A = this chain, B = another copy of it.
């Protein structure tokens, strides 16, 4: 199978909205009048972002999901994406499920594959995604205000827990592992929530490198600090609520670490003023996505930007690092 056959067979699909899709030097899109274009690129590398044993369909899903998650964090409506793919070899047994997982998620969000590139090389998946957002309505990292509530969507820490099971540092009952593994391998980008939070949230980011790391981006961009209630946050790991989970399979320290600094969650962390609590709940309901208030934005300070407290407001002394690819 040659390069052009490969593109034709697995990655050429009707693109009813694009002016011109796969197969010319460029794709052509006609942006909706007046809308701003939100653009994000993510590159996934074997061994770094996924295990070599991962199901190709799940990998196709995840490669697009992590990009859609960036659009969600901006409150942008997905429109189109490009796929650049380096493959050790053109293998139909891999390409068929990979493209199927990728395009199923694309269809779910009406996000058209309009172009890209394929080449021989160590497995590398680079997706660039395009969304639309009305001018002035994008959710930025820089809008958090002192006194704002701090929220996170969905659940946190399950993906990291599944990764630790793969690494052999944790064990789980099979049914609980299946659930945690799905969070690692098939994350759900919170696109509907991002759209519903336009005009409600003051700042947002997606949680890809761990809650504290990505919250840190908001705090730096907004020149503020935050307090996080660890007693609320640590309950956000869904695996602990799984019926097969016997309490105490892993300790509270690890539980908190996975929630606050686990990575690969693809939830949204966002801020909104206390007067918007009803609006946040309405957005959550409209998007069928639970959100949890985990803290508050505070005035900037010279010490650590995030203050961890327990249920009584007493300081929790813990250090977590956000994931850094070169640290």
Which residues of A approach B to under 8 Å, CB–CB?
Answer: 1-4, 6, 19-20, 23-31, 33-43, 45-49, 70-71, 73-74, 76, 80, 82-87, 89-90, 114-122, 124, 126, 128, 130-131, 133, 135, 138, 140-142, 204-206, 221, 324-327
Contact = CB atoms under 8 A, between A and B. Distances in A.
B43 A85 contact: yes
A306 to B, nearest CB: 16
A32 to B, nearest CB: 9
Contacts of A49: 119
A92 B135 CA distance: 37
Q: Name the residue among A26, A46, A121, A204 with the largest chain B CB count within 10 angstroms.
A: A26
A324 B26 contact: no
Given A3-B325, A39-B82, A128-B128, A133 B25 contact: no
- How many copies of this kind of chain does the complex include? 2
Given A39-B115, A84-B126, A90-B326, A120 B45 contact: yes
Given A43-B117, A325-B118, A27 B38 contact: yes
Listed residue (A6, A74, A205) with the most chain B CB atoms within 10 angstroms of its CB: A74
11 contacts: A20-B140, A26-B38, A27-B40, A28-B133, A30-B37, A40-B82, A42-B117, A48-B120, A120-B326, A124-B124, A124-B126
Contact of A45 (B4, B48, B122, B204): B122
Contact of A24 (B3, B25, B119, B141): B141
B24 A28 contact: no
A27 to B, nearest CB: 5
A112 to B, nearest CB: 11
Nearest to A326: B90
A213 to B, nearest CB: 10
A87 to B, nearest CB: 8
Contacts of A28: 36-39, 74, 133, 138
Contacts of A118: 325-326
Contacts of A25: 40, 70-71, 73-74, 141, 204-206
Nearest to A6: B326
Nearest to A138: B28
A96 B155 CA distance: 40
A85 B76 CA distance: 24
Give me the 7 closest cross-chain CB pairs, A-B, nearest first.
Answer: A45-B121, A126-B126, A25-B73, A43-B84, A26-B38, A128-B128, A90-B326
A326 B135 contact: no
A39 B82 CA distance: 8
A117 to B, nearest CB: 5
Contacts of A117: 41-43, 126
A221 B23 contact: yes
